[in-house]
Structure 1
């Protein structure tokens, strides 16, 4: 698939927003709107799955294997670091519970002994539980003709969202999988279908959509207004659709640095909290100003994520992509992926 720089830029911006959110949250500062980076990630994820599957004749099993190999290794490693860190006393407040730990590795929402919420050992991994659920639903849709896949996804996620209005008990898998947040994947898939059919908005409409999203996110931040999925999801959709409109019109500037951060966004998302925890602890003990601790944590957290991308994620991805299993048959050697 041709590189869509707009999507890369959005992934980068979403990751940086989440980094700032976590740095600010640890210091009781206001940047809650940064959590909306997750909404952008979910819309982008739905878009990417529809687009990359267009010209691939993958079976559901092959698709799930590909997604698992792409997502799981780095996440499992980060989770393992958390576990060993807890045993070593580096995370004294982290309680390790066997059912919760197993659920964390299997991308299942299990009640955490650390606060009682449905988050895994690596807290930000809760979004990956949603990602994997979407991948399962998308894999099931691959059994249908391409023209029926979006309708099937709409039926599945629409029904779950409707059921969600009747599920009011937090802390249960039924509650987790029926939140309106899951509709963001579906929205991204719809945008993907529009992109493939050449029906994204014109550039002027795209600029308007981007302006609406940026203005609204800024207003929420400045006014410290309450927000939820019903507000952030439409804004994330506007942002993604607007950027794709500019992409189609060849109006996006070439920003290699931002595109690179898009490539590294997954590692930044996984690993930044480790660095933020250390920086905040050192900064507070040294009596540094809050603003300096916050920005230092965000910058160093991003740099650590980039380092993990170069040292862990990329080598793992290259190894998995180019691995070969060599075995012998009578009279010849056979090399298979």
Structure 2
């Protein structure tokens, strides 16, 4: 993956961390402009993730021909192990200390649906969130992968149109008429298409390199995000996020070869999954010992980073390679796929 996108993935993940810090420690009540920014706009990290996801999946499958089932298996091997582990740890935390965690409840049916990426009402009563709350975005990711698998049934030149048509059919027709969960009737899913569009333009050499114009584009996009709320998430946050992704690609020469940014980007998925667990642990410490939330957060940040790096090395890399090697050995036409 481009180092510029790795850096952006890392930034998006840590913006979400700050957003949830404000939620868990302050119940989204900010006392200053920086805190208010993370309260109101910190969730935009998810929109950036979705755009990047659409871009990466499109680019990584171009010029490849594989069975749809194999594509889904590769994605499951990449996503599921870490998610299941941290969902289990979250479930155990709720069982052990759930009475002290606001609105956190777990029951077996909902827990199993969470593991299967099926949206259902959280028993805490606050919406269609899985046991590991941040997993709501993975419900959209897995849904996108399922629809994207259809592209391997058609010629490559039609693939982007097939995905767009499938997303539109499910989100605008099927979900809105109650056949699928209303969870999918959300225009945030079209942010994957913005990523595909960027990938399509990048493949054709339409994304030039530069410095000042991309920086101005990023600045304008941030101003738009700052001044627009999430009432129309696709337009207000999704489109500016797509422009930020596009600008970062144009800035690739200034990022190329930076190993630190690559590692930070590699760890971003684990950062996203782990940080809520660490922050809740920090919240307990803050409440019991009457320590400043900001002091606790200063310890949470390196702990999240260390745990995420360990998770990336052992689960996302080593376990992934073993599972993929096992799958390759049992399939007639194994396909190579980089870790993304």
Bucket of the pairwise TM-score, normalised by the shorter protein = 0.7 to 0.9
C-alpha contact 1:324 1:335 (8 A) present in aligned 2: no
Secondary structure (helix, strand or coil) at the match of 2:153 reads coil
Give the distance between the partners of 1:312 and 1:146, measured in 2 at CA. Answer: 32
Q: Does 1:66 align with 2:74?
A: yes
TM-score after normalising by structure 1: 0.85
Find the counterpart in structure 1 of residue 338 from structure 2. none
Provide closer, same or farther for how the CA distance between residues 184 and 326 of structure 1 changes in structure 2, counting only shifts above 3 A: closer
Q: Does 1:256 align with 2:266?
A: no
Find the counterpart in structure 2 of residue 330 from structure 1. none
Find the counterpart in structure 1 of residue 151 from structure 2. 141
Identify the structure with the greater helix proportion: 2
Secondary structure (helix, strand or coil) at the match of 2:131 reads coil
Find the counterpart in structure 2 of residue 243 from structure 1. 248
Give the distance between the partners of 2:162 and 2:316, measured in 1 at CA. Answer: 33
C-alpha contact 1:14 1:40 (8 A) present in aligned 2: yes
- CA-to-aligned-CA distance 1:134-181 (integer Å, 9 cap, x gap): 0011001221111101111222223445449x9499xx9532112010
Aligned equivalent of 1:286, options 268, 275, 289: 289
Provide closer, same or farther for how the CA distance between residues 299 and 163 of structure 1 changes in structure 2, counting only shifts above 3 A: farther
Aligned equivalent of 1:187, options 187, 194, 206: 194
Aligned equivalent of 1:41, options 42, 49, 62: 49
Give the distance between the partners of 1:202 and 1:5, measured in 2 at CA. Answer: 14
C-alpha contact 2:229 2:236 (8 A) present in aligned 1: no
Give the distance between the partners of 1:156 and 1:336, measured in 2 at CA. Answer: 27
Give the distance between the partners of 2:20 and 2:263, measured in 1 at CA. Answer: 22
Q: Does 1:200 align with 2:207?
A: yes
Secondary structure (helix, strand or coil) at the match of 2:324 reads helix
C-alpha contact 1:21 1:35 (8 A) present in aligned 2: yes
C-alpha contact 2:283 2:293 (8 A) present in aligned 1: no
C-alpha contact 2:194 2:242 (8 A) present in aligned 1: yes
Give the distance between the partners of 1:72 and 1:81, measured in 2 at CA. Answer: 14
Task: Quote the offset at 1:272 in angstroms.
Answer: 1.2
> Which range moved further: 280-289 or 188-197?
280-289
Secondary structure (helix, strand or coil) at the match of 2:185 reads coil
Provide closer, same or farther for how the CA distance between residues 304 and 90 of structure 1 changes in structure 2, counting only shifts above 3 A: farther
TM-score after normalising by structure 2: 0.84
| Aligned-residue CA RMSD (Å) | 2.7
Find the counterpart in structure 1 of residue 300 from structure 2. 297
Aligned equivalent of 1:103, options 113, 122, 125: 113
Task: Quote the offset at 1:274 in angstroms.
Answer: 1.1
Give the distance between the partners of 1:185 and 1:109, measured in 2 at CA. Answer: 19
- CA-to-aligned-CA distance 1:257-315 (integer Å, 9 cap, x gap): 22101101111111111111111211232222233233433443333222322343322
Find the counterpart in structure 2 of residue 90 from structure 1. 97
Find the counterpart in structure 1 of residue 129 from structure 2. 119
Task: Quote the offset at 1:324 in angstroms.
Answer: 7.2
Long gaps (5+) in structure 1: 328-333
Provide closer, same or farther for how the CA distance between residues 201 and 174 of structure 1 changes in structure 2, counting only shifts above 3 A: farther
Give the distance between the partners of 1:71 and 1:14, measured in 2 at CA. Answer: 18
Provide closer, same or farther for how the CA distance between residues 227 and 324 of structure 1 changes in structure 2, counting only shifts above 3 A: closer
Give the distance between the partners of 2:42 and 2:52, measured in 1 at CA. Answer: 16
Give the distance between the partners of 2:48 and 2:112, measured in 1 at CA. Answer: 28
Long gaps (5+) in structure 2: 31-35, 335-340
